[in-house]
Amino acid sequence: MAGVYIHIPFCKSLCGYCDFYSITDNSLKAALVQALMREASLRSSYLEGEQVETIYLGGGTPSLLEPDETAALLEAVRNNFSPGKNPEITVEVNPDDVRDGYIGALRKTGVNRISLGLQSWNDKLLRYMGRRHDAAQSARALDIVFGEGIENVSADLIYGLPGMTIADLRSDLEKTLAYPVKHLSAYHLTIEDGTRFGKLKKEGKLKEADEETSASMFGVLGAVCQEHGFIHYEISNFALEGYISRHNSSYWKQVPYIGLGPSAHSFDRRSRQWNVSDVKKYIRAIEKGEIPSEREELDRLTVFNEYVMTSLRTMWGIDLLHVEEMYDKELHDYLVNLSDRYIRYGLMKREKNTLILTDQGKMISDNIIAELLADL
Ligand code: SF4
């Protein structure tokens, strides 16, 4: 089993919180699509022997591509890798890009999952974030997506924004879940250096949500999603039964994936590889038949730590038998001993051979994970 990620590094404008690699000049869009197809062909052996179960177009803004460009990229994936019978094919879509006929045409390309970047239903907060859409466009986009018969729809929300109240979050959740969305990704705002928000923070012009508000918001998020029948399967991700994102889950389960495009990362269980974060350099290199990337061989401890970091964020938790089989008894015992304290504090629980965070533990997941990382 394997995944394919395609990065479309263009945005009409940059949002205040975003640190993904993206540029606002999309004049190289056609050249990039050609380069992506070529990269798929140059790296067709990367997933040798693995069946592709998920394809994900992210960004940036993949909804800036025309449906025929998306179709060409999917065709390149089908021609160069080995898709399974019914791969999950997701495209991230911004509400303001849902133009007439777009979703229907996208569906014909084989796309069967849409991830809509709603972020909030509060126009004031949307403007503060620098989003290009408003709540009315979100409602229209959702109506069109469902009207076109795409039933596997995920919505993205951001919470913990400066000035955002718990009532604002509850309202965002209720408005989103009033639609038949099957999946929700809700991320707490993080302020990254190099972003507009990062600059405002340095200048003392941005007040982050305090810990108490953040914790209350996380509690409200979990409670409202649960009331609507959603499974909290990862710290920031919720889904109805049968709609857990296969693509995201494969990252957390250390399934190999190839990332095509500028700044895209790839993982083959032994190494990590990342392409240059520069559209022009990327296109020039690919045109010469070269892959502009760096590579890091992963040692056993690094892979183990990545497993701890990702699996503990999920409802499946750390599988101690897997640790013993894939790594060794020493790392197994290390985890058992270290987790004992958290189990006693009610932050973790052990179910048979699995270590899982409790709801309380999820609130301080980053701290617990940092403590569990091995440096033997
Ligand atoms: S959040 Fe999305 S739309 Fe906004 S700048 Fe980042 S990639 Fe572009």
Locate the domains of the chain by residue range.
2-252, 300-372
Neighbour count for residue 292 (Cβ, 10 Å): 18
- In DSSP notation, 150-190 reads ---EEEEEEE--TT--HHHHHHHHHHHHTS---EEEEEE--
Q: Does pLDDT of 139 surpass 80?
A: yes
* Antiparallel, parallel or unpaired: β 2-8 and 293-297: unpaired
Give the per-residue pLDDT at 254: 84
> Average pLDDT of the chain?
96
The CA 332 to ligand 1 mean position distance, Å, reads 40
Query: Has domain 300-372 been given CATH number 1.10.10.920?
Result: yes
Q: Which residue has the tokens 């108490």?
A: 212
Out of 12, 17, 20, give the residue to mutate to test ligand 1, the one with the largest number of ligand atoms within 8 Å of its CB. 20
pTM of the model: 0.95
Question: What is the distance between the alpha carbons of residues 176 and 139, in angstroms, rounded to a whole number?
Answer: 9
Helix runs in the chain, H state only: 29-42, 67-80, 102-108, 123-129, 135-147, 166-177, 196-202, 211-227, 246-252, 279-287, 300-311, 320-326, 329-344, 359-363, 365-372
pLDDT-derived band at 313 (thresholds 50, 70, 90) equals very high
Contacts for 337-344: CB closer than 8 Å, 24+ residues apart: 338/371, 338/372, 339/372, 342/368
Give the per-residue pLDDT at 327: 87
**Is the Cβ atom of 129 under 6 angstroms away from ligand 1?**
no
Give the strands of the sheet with 354-357, arranged side by side: 318-319, 354-357, 348-351
> Tens digit of pLDDT for each residue in 278-293?
999 999 999 999 999 9
Mean pLDDT score, 5-27: 96
Return the residue whose CA atom lies nearest to atom 2 of ligand 1: 60
**Is the Cβ atom of 60 under 6 angstroms away from ligand 1?**
yes
Give the per-residue pLDDT at 376: 58
Return the residue whose CA atom lies nearest to atom 4 of ligand 1: 15
Q: Does pLDDT of 145 surpass 90?
A: yes
Give the per-residue pLDDT at 375: 80
> Tens digit of pLDDT for each residue in 269-281?
889 999 999 999 9
**Is the Cβ atom of 61 under 6 angstroms away from ligand 1?**
yes
> Tens digit of pLDDT for each residue in 150-201?
999 999 999 999 999 999 999 999 999 999 999 999 999 999 999 999 999 9
pLDDT-derived band at 91 (thresholds 50, 70, 90) equals very high
The CATH class, in words, for 2-252 is: alpha beta
Residues 91/111, Cβ–Cβ less than 8 Å: yes
Question: What is the distance between the alpha carbons of residues 231 and 236, in angstroms, rounded to a whole number?
Answer: 11
